A and B are shown apart, each in its own frame.
Chain A
Amino acid sequence: MPTSALKKNRNIDEIKSVVSLGKKHGSSIKEKNSNCKCAVVKSENFSFYYGSKAGVKDITMEIYPCSVTAIIGPSGCGKSTFLRSINRINDLIPHTRIEGRLLVNGHNVYDKNTNLVNLRQQVGMVFQKPNPFPKSIFDNVAYGPRLQGVKSRSKLQQVVENSLKAAALWDEGKDDLKKSALALSGGQQQRLCIARALATRPNILLMDEPCSALDPIATGKIEDLIDKLQNDYTIVIVTHNMQQAARVSKRTAFLCLGELIEYDSTVKIFRNPGKKQTEDYVTGRFG
């Protein structure tokens, strides 16, 4: 696999530079340094219904900070539904209803007085298909900071530069920030979307099959990026690609038919799963 070759080339110094770059993320770095294990995202008997049909049922799990958590499972098992519940982007769909609790940093996101704007700034999201706005690269990345009221051009410039560097797009895009985002390649677009999500300074990054529309080389770049980012962000990634889950994540959750079958460290899930169903799935006998 070309990706593994790329992985080997990972430069420790580069990661360090990214970490030192993110002064704004000082708090999360501190948390990691102090070995804080408190769950950033915690789901307690959480169920999500589309009308009468359950998307996910009775999920109880904790997602640890500053690490990558993968959610795997066959199509229609509710991976995306669960992921999209975390920043309530599922609200766009009419006639839905939830049960149980879903906590982000200790606050129930489905609480009546949750500030959606704050929540979504805290929980960034990267979608399956690259979806940059039909604007320039600069405007795409600056969209989030502008929402937060940043007006000064120099500050925006700084944020855009930092975000693009963090998303490993700076070297390719710095010459032409005015260029339309739609003129970029698929992989570049996806990295731009990641940069855009990072620009709002989130704590958590949700990734909904971020590589499914990309070729292996672009996938490799994104995976490298995820690897770098996990030092600063809590990352939840939904993927169909089990190798990818094995490569990038610390912990893996296996969902089937809306239920959480198993949630453990990635090594355990792929080497020594506790349940027959999981073993069938990861070895390819099922799904």
Chain B
Amino acid sequence: MRPIIRRITDKAFTILTGTSAVLLMSVLLIVLGPMVWQGAKAVIFKDTVEFRKMQLDLYNRGNSASLEVENSKAESFRKIVYETIDKFKHGIDTEELIDRSKQVYRQFRKELRYKGITGEEYQKIRSLAKELRDRLQTAFESNDKKTIKENIDYVLQYRSDKDFADTVAVEFFTLAEDFQKSIENIDLNKRQQYTSSLQQVEEIIFRLLGPRPGEPLPALTMERYGATRWDLAQKLLDKLLWSEQWIQKEAGQPLVKIRASRAEQFAGTKLESLFGYAENNLAKMLKPKFTFYWQYFIDDSTPGHYFGGVRPEVLGTLLLTLLAMLFVFPLGVISAAYLVECASDNIAIRIIRMCINTLAGVPSIVFGLFGLAFFVLFFIPLFGGPSKPCILAASMTLAVLTLPVMIRASEEAIRSVPQTYKEASLGLGASRFRTFVKVTLPAALPGILTGVILSLSRVAGETAPILFTGAVALGPLPKSLFDPTRTLSYGSYDIAVGDRLAMMVPHNQYGIVVTLVLLIICLNAIAVVFRARMFRRLKGH
């Protein structure tokens, strides 16, 4: 070959390999970049006063005095929202009014008896109260302004009746007056529509601002606080301002989704002002602030990952991984030792080898079902354990899953130990077992560690094998080997399939995945450093 051609081909080869390396790295960046970007939002984000409240209540972090000041400021802005809703609701939520009037009637009857009024007088007053109650009910239920006016007027003429003065029945008249005022500028025919829309608005306000001050705390922790994150709050604000509706534009066409302004829906009512107010004062109601929530990695989470961190998941994953390594390491090394040192090359050994190679390619869900059928339902009960998913079963399943990888790596490592080492040891009178333990194994250990690294990454990230054998989405840390555990991989799966949550905590889903990647990188780094040190020792530097 001419020197010039040789130079050109050499250059071309260098360029080709260089380009492919760059390409690979950029692909990696493209894949990892967005995920890390999204996952970082779980740690670095704009929080709200609700978040700080939650941190103080659940984890005892932050300054309660300054939070109190902040909270009272936020509350002063929130009060207007609540007042607006209440004013509007009075004319809309007739069921509540009807219930109230019934209650008042019952209380009034009791009061009469308590006062000792009996006989004919009692009957008279009672039937009049009943009449008032029924009239109010008719007024509340009616869509006709004329009927309402007639009935309300009828009720109000007894306002100064001495029988009702200074009794609970006075509330009849306040109810009637309030109602009259609140329906002044409401189209009564739209009342049905308002009711359902108002429910949505109240729900969104609840999720935005949390329970109203003074109300009893909800049982669920996640309902005790409003939007803890500013991005979530803005999403909710968008929902508050715009309702999604499915309409059919033309007959025979599929339904299309449109965004309708709620302010327009409630145009002319007392609620109309709420939307503009909320849009302009959201920041004042929630007080957003940038925060670096590093405790994400060490915090317990509330059920459903709504708040808090990933501590149970991280610990569960670590536990499961290390336990699986505990099973797979000796098993893999012993199997490899047998295959290299003891097994002769016959048909049975070839079949075993083929099985190991095939196992490496079996889909992980198959291992999951195997684990359920074998470990959970058969093996662990056989030794008196409970027949339920638990970390023991899960780690055993993971060990089986990664056993082929481990065996092959260990086999390679043991085979690559120089024959001269073995000869030297045997020549000194060591038995084969002793030679393996004292000479071959230490020399092969770095190579075996490569197998451990490969297995570790696989085990920590698998979801399917633990799906039926020991992973749960909720629950405390396992107290024994027979408890199930939460893991990062399963946690992210669970959020992804739990449709409602996935919408509300997307940062959490990415956060879990990024935590998993970080965890695997950390575990691998430890193993790599360990291996490098071992190599150095073997090389004698």
Contacts and interface: CB of A to CB of B under 8 A. Distances in A.
A129 B429 contact: no
B257 interface: no
Interface residues of A, number: 32
Contacts of A148: 429
A127 B424 contact: yes
B540 A183 contact: yes
A131 B421 contact: yes
Contacts of A129: 420
Main secondary structure of the interface of B (DSSP, over half): helix
A119 B255 CA distance: 91
A147 interface: yes
Given A92-B422, A92-B423, A129-B420, A134 B539 contact: yes
B428 A134 contact: no
Contacts of A116: 429
Contacts of A124: 427-428
A125 interface: yes
Interface string A176-207: 00011111000000000100110010000000
Contacts of A92: 419, 422-423, 426
A143 interface: yes
A134 B538 contact: yes
Contacts of A117: 429-431
Contacts of A121: 428-429
Interface band, chain B: 20 to 34
Contact of A87 (B427, B431, B438, B538): B427
Contacts of B424: 127, 131-133, 193, 196
Interface of B: 344, 418-431, 434, 438-439, 442-443, 537-541
A94 B428 contact: no
The 5 A-B pairs with the shortest beta carbon distances in the complex, nearest first, are A180-B540, A182-B540, A131-B420, A121-B429, A125-B427
Given A92-B423, A120-B428, A180-B539, 12 more contacts: A89-B423, A89-B426, A89-B427, A94-B344, A117-B430, A119-B429, A127-B427, A129-B420, A133-B421, A134-B539, A182-B538, A200-B429
Contacts of B537: 134, 180
A256 B156 CA distance: 135
B443 A134 contact: yes
A102 B432 CA distance: 23
29 contacts: A87-B427, A89-B423, A89-B427, A92-B426, A94-B344, A116-B429, A117-B430, A119-B429, A124-B428, A125-B427, A127-B420, A131-B418, A131-B424, A132-B424, A133-B421, A133-B443, A134-B443, A134-B539, A134-B540, A143-B425, A143-B430, A143-B438, A147-B434, A148-B429, A180-B539, A181-B540, A193-B424, A197-B427, A200-B429
A127 B426 CA distance: 12
A118 interface: yes
B541 A183 contact: yes
Contacts of B430: 117, 143, 147
A183 B540 CA distance: 5
B429 A118 contact: yes
A273 interface: no
A129 B418 CA distance: 11
